[in-house]
Amino acid sequence: MSDAREGQATLDGVVSALRAHESFVMVSHVKPDGDTLGAGLALGLGLQQLGKRVAYFNENAVPRNLRFLPGADRVRRDLGTLPDGTMFCFFDMSDVARAGPYLPPFDAAHTLNVDHHLGNTRFAALNYILEAEASAGAVVLKILEALKTELTPQIAECILTTLMTDTGAFAHSNTTPAVLREAARMMEAGANKERITQEIFANKRFAAQHLMGTALARMRFDAEAGVVWTVVDAEMLASCGADSEDTEDIVQQLRIVDGCKVAVLFKALEPGEVRISLRSNGEVNVQSVAARLGGGGHFRAAGCTVPGSLGEGVTAIAEALRAEGVASAMVVPA
């Protein structure tokens, strides 16, 4: 069943499909964060209450700071043989390519896409996209309520993690009264907010902090345009004893510079490509910037990957920003 929006399933249609299937794979996107993992784990735990068979797929290892999530130890790349008619459920991804190249074969007729991103391509047989929600986990919560599953402490922990991840621990503008009410419900159901805060936002390795300092030392600021940027490359990772997980918080530190409108982190970690993270303080739609380069995300947080050298990545972003009305003479930081 679909509603008036093109490609949008109704909640009743989603619930009927979930009840009709017996085997599921919960798919989180590459380089998973707390929203994609938490949303998939929450729905999977709810379906297990209904006696369903549930597997959890990600092509990457679960990040260190998310291994506390209930069920995270079941996330795998190799799922073995799956029953015919297994439903693949995708979370927090605007396009199926975000699942990565190691996704097992699946029947497109048995797919569910749960998201809150602007510009979702509605790639599944069933697409339940609620763009007004703060996280994919908040969308999952509505599905679980309609399924009438029990809100266990484990599910609540997963949902609260999604909310805290995508609101920046309730610091971003998407922290609405409804989000805070949902968070309170999760805490009342047994979610441990202090533990989530410590694991995701506070427990940082020395190598990560060393890398942060090195990246900030290369930071550049075009005050007239309001653009702050820096770069992390493979040599920096090696010298700090860090890995790609340790880059995740750097762009947020760029964003808090007084006068910043757009923060950009260039990650040149693999030959021939530059991964780019963008953050906005509300004046510039970085989702539109990323979309010009084949990426996506939200108004205030987005990303993309550009083929070529670091210099080519910087030039590409400068041109995309200019097309969105932000003229900055960006150069590769020394």
Task: Name the β-bridge partners of 90.
Answer: 27, 113
Kindly compute the dihedral angle of the four CA atoms of residues 25, 290, 203, 39, in this order, to the nearest 10 degrees. -30
Residue 187 to residues 145, 160, 193, Cα–Cα distance (Å): 16, 8, 7
Please name the residue that has the structure tokens 């970690």.
Answer: 269
**Residue 230, pLDDT above cutoff 60:** yes
Q: What value does the mean pLDDT take over residues 12-34?
A: 97
Instruction: Work out the mean pLDDT of the chain and round it to a whole number.
Output: 95
Whole-prediction pTM value?
0.87
DSSP 219-252: -EEETTTTEEEEEEEHHHHHHHT--GGGGTTHHH
Name 119's Cβ contacts closer than 8 Å, sequence gap at least 6. 94, 287, 291, 296
- Look up residue 168 and give its two tokens: 């920046």
**Residue 255, pLDDT above cutoff 80:** yes
Name 20's Cβ contacts closer than 8 Å, sequence gap at least 6. none
Residue 185's φ and ψ, nearest 5 degrees, are -60, -40
Q: Would you state the pLDDT for residue 160?
A: 99
Model confidence at 6, pLDDT cuts 50, 70, 90, reads: low
DSSP 163-191: HHHHTTTTTSTT--HHHHHHHHHHHHTT-
Q: Would you state the pLDDT for residue 323?
A: 95
- Look up residue 206 and give its two tokens: 């020395």
Please name the helix (run of DSSP H) or strand (run of DSSP E) that holds residue 293, with its range, or none: none
Structural domain 206-323, CATH architecture? Roll (3.10)
Model confidence at 172, pLDDT cuts 50, 70, 90, reads: confident
**Residue 329, pLDDT above cutoff 90:** no
Q: Would you state the pLDDT for residue 263?
A: 98
Q: Taking the CB of residue 8, how many other CB atoms lie within 10 A of it?
A: 17
**Residue 41, pLDDT above cutoff 80:** yes
Q: What value does the mean pLDDT take over residues 21-25?
A: 98
> Among residues of the chain, what percentage have pLDDT more than 90?
89
Q: What value does the mean pLDDT take over residues 63-92?
A: 96
Q: Would you state the pLDDT for residue 2?
A: 47
Model confidence at 5, pLDDT cuts 50, 70, 90, reads: low
**Residue 225, pLDDT above cutoff 90:** yes
Residue spans of beta strands (DSSP E) within the chain: 23-28, 53-57, 75-76, 87-91, 111-115, 126-129, 220-222, 227-233, 262-270, 273-280, 296-297, 301-307
Q: What value does the mean pLDDT take over residues 241-255?
A: 94
Q: What value does the mean pLDDT take over residues 40-65?
A: 97
Residues 116-166: tens digit of each pLDDT? 988 899 999 999 999 999 999 999 999 999 999 999 999 999 999 999 999
CA 58, CA 100: separation in Å to the nearest integer?
Answer: 8
Residue 299 to residues 4, 29, 32, 161, 291, Cα–Cα distance (Å): 24, 19, 20, 21, 11
Model confidence at 47, pLDDT cuts 50, 70, 90, reads: very high
Domain ranges of the chain: 11-201, 206-323
Q: Is 28 helix (H, G, I), strand (E, B) or coil?
A: strand
Q: Which CATH superfamily is domain 11-201 in?
A: inorganic pyrophosphatase (n-terminal core) (3.90.1640.10)
